[in-house]
Amino acid sequence: MADYDDVFQASVDNPEAFWLKAAESIDWHVAPTRALDASNPPFYRWFPDGELNVCHNALDRHVEGGRGEQAALVYDSPVTGSQRTYTYAQLRDEVAVFAGVLAAQGVGRGDRVVIYMPMVPEAVVAMLACARIGAVHSVVFGGFAPKELAVRIDDAAPTVIVSASCGIEGQRVIAYKPLLDKAIELAEHKPSACVILQRPQAEAEMGPNDIDWATAAADATPADCVPVKATDPLYILYTSGTTGKPKGVVRDSGGHAVALNWSMPSVYAVGPGETIFTASDVGWVVGHSYIVYAPLLVGATSVLYEGKPVGTPDAGQFWRVVQEHKVKSLFTAPTAFRAIKKEDPRGEYAQKYDLSSLEYLFLAGERLDPETLRWAQELLEIPVIDHWWQTETGWPIVANPAGIELLPVKPGSPTVPLPGWDVQVLDAAGRPVEAGTDGAIVVKLPMPPGALPTLWNDDERFVSSYMSAFPGYYLTGDGGRIDAQGYVYVMGRTDDVINVAGHRLSTGGMEEVLASHPDVAECAVIGVADPMKGQIPRGFVVLKSGVERDGDELRAELVQLVREQIGAVASLKDVAVVAALPKTRSGKILRKTMRGIADGLDEPVPGTIENAAVLDDLRPVLRKS
């Protein structure tokens, strides 16, 4: 087998040949004759003359190829005490029926469908059903509040919304239908219908535009796969930017299928008939790529887990899943391991289960702290692989390519750039820095297949957010360095995006909510280090002059406001009322300085601050975290 250097070099020397070769592992309706269309930079398109259907590649071709009776999806739900296995043939049939349900509601090629669902197999069925008929899905994470859902509904303008009566968070049953109804009320765009999956834990009251999933499925005519252009959108996934308005990351059909299909054996070492357990949520990119599309594209078995790593019923659930479903690769966020470690520091649960099938642990979504890496390595005695990627990229940029060659691990580094990713570090003037020097991490264009071609209905924002800071490069928004051996170190975001328990959130969005409170004159939200969640947001508000409020009551109102407007997932629990915020001479709030002090780092150069005395008052409040 080739080693990493050979494979990487092949992708650099001749990307056209490299990706056309990778494309041969996909079934095409019309096979592409060329890989990259670079005629309109920075809008690069992959496989411009290819046509395919992604659902066919994920399901039908495996049934036709003899995998019909193999497990495609294993639903494992400790919170409901249930499990269900779908073979490839069963999943194809369910998807075809649900595609018929959508088609009967007038959903056709290019139409959008918003999916707002908990971690149930029907969420996967709905996604693949969209792909089957050429519709574009947009899955919204269930932890977002109605207002966030409404913003996404208005941007995507879906024909139909698919949802469920409830989700389950530990012991709590969360009714989804009232949240959905509220979102539709808030949104200007109204879908023509909502298809609702009734769950026994809390049945939803149905309205005139609501259709019961089971009833509709019983009457539906199964729909066939519709070929689409490789460049047609497969999905839109909204992700946090620096403002409250999320970015609609577009994923194309052909490039995405080729890249994910390539990544599964090469990075995650999972091939046909093997099992991957990705403990994330279908609402995030990790869930899209490695719960749904990549495992199914290669004919593997994917575990869909409804629950947390700890709590209901205990901290041994990941190990039980590994044993029961013979998982080869486990993929989650470092925060899940910190949660397990807190409950079970000596790893006693892990010893109760047979983990002999488990060959690799993959961690991503946030920086992997060396202590969590060490704990996981000692507990499992298998390679623990940190890897770095983003919603925008769809698959890892930097990883230890386990399926090609396992490279030595350096704590703090997700290892090396994967084929197709020309990762560089630039200084503020756009000059490459010396090895080992910190700067902005960028990717030289073009990016490989699978990376976002644009933002939904917003080419301008695509260019201004990612392509303008350093022309010819994609701005990742992360800062870090590359060492002399080519290992990449990702140190954290350089913008207002934070990662809370592996969930990407915008502090700017939270500030917009706090600022909307009638008593608040100005505010700042910063991400501070948290031993469990990696980062958590902290808010600081200055009250309008003349306002006199009980501090505790106001803080509770502000925390509740963010919960209502963004969702519980924002995890904003701490808001301090302060006299003033530190600012530059031009009036910009010094959030970076505040973050630095909260994290115990160096203090700022006083000359740059307009109101330096403010920092003296703030220091004890900031250091409290």
- Which spans of this chain sit near ligand AMP (rule: CB under 6 A)? 239, 284-285, 364-368, 386-391, 414, 477-478, 490, 493, 499, 504
CB of 598 to ligand COA, least distance (A): 19
CB of 389 to ligand COA, least distance (A): 10
593's contact among ligand AMP, ligand COA, none, with CB below 5 to 8 A by partner kind, is none
Give yes or no for residue 255 binding ligand COA (CB under 6 A).
no
Whether 133 contacts 102, CB under 8 Å? yes
Tell me the three state secondary structure of residue 222: coil
Give yes or no for residue 289 binding ligand COA (CB under 6 A).
no
CB of 289 to ligand AMP, least distance (A): 10
143's contact among ligand AMP, ligand COA, none, with CB below 5 to 8 A by partner kind, is ligand COA
Would you tell me how many other CB atoms lie within 10 Å of the CB of residue 324?
A: 14
Measured from the CB atom, the residue of 78 and 508 that comes closer to ligand AMP is 508
Tell me the three state secondary structure of residue 541: strand
Tell me the three state secondary structure of residue 364: coil
Q: Environment class of residue 520 by beta-carbon count within 10 Å: exposed (0-12), middle (13-18) or buried (19+)? A: buried
390's contact among ligand AMP, ligand COA, none, with CB below 5 to 8 A by partner kind, is ligand AMP
Tell me the three state secondary structure of residue 386: strand
CB of 625 to ligand COA, least distance (A): 17
447's contact among ligand AMP, ligand COA, none, with CB below 5 to 8 A by partner kind, is none
d(CA 356, CA 328): 9
- Continuous segment of H or E residues that includes residue 379: helix 370-380
Whether 12 contacts 422, CB under 8 Å? yes
3-state secondary structure 19-37: HHHHHCCCCCCECCCCCEE
> Which residue from 169, 343, 405, 519 is in contact with ligand COA, where contact means CB under 6 A?
169
CB of 300 to ligand AMP, least distance (A): 22
Measured from the CB atom, the residue of 299 and 414 that comes closer to ligand AMP is 414
d(CA 374, CA 356): 20
The C-alpha angle with vertex 338 and arms to 386 and 495, in degrees rounded to 5, equals: 60
386's contact among ligand AMP, ligand COA, none, with CB below 5 to 8 A by partner kind, is ligand AMP
Residue 212 phi/psi, 5-degree rounding, is -75, 125
335's contact among ligand AMP, ligand COA, none, with CB below 5 to 8 A by partner kind, is ligand COA
Q: Environment class of residue 69 by beta-carbon count within 10 Å: exposed (0-12), middle (13-18) or buried (19+)? A: exposed
Name the token pair of 617: 């008052």
d(CA 527, CA 539): 9
Q: List the x/- string, 96-135, binding to ligand COA by CB under 6 A.
A: ----------------------------------------
Give yes or no for residue 568 binding ligand COA (CB under 6 A).
yes
Measured from the CB atom, the residue of 222 and 479 that comes closer to ligand AMP is 479
Which residues of the shown chain bind ligand COA in the complex (CB under 6 A)?
Answer: 142-143, 167, 169, 174, 279-281, 284, 286, 308-310, 332-333, 335-336, 339, 365, 500-503, 533, 568-569, 571
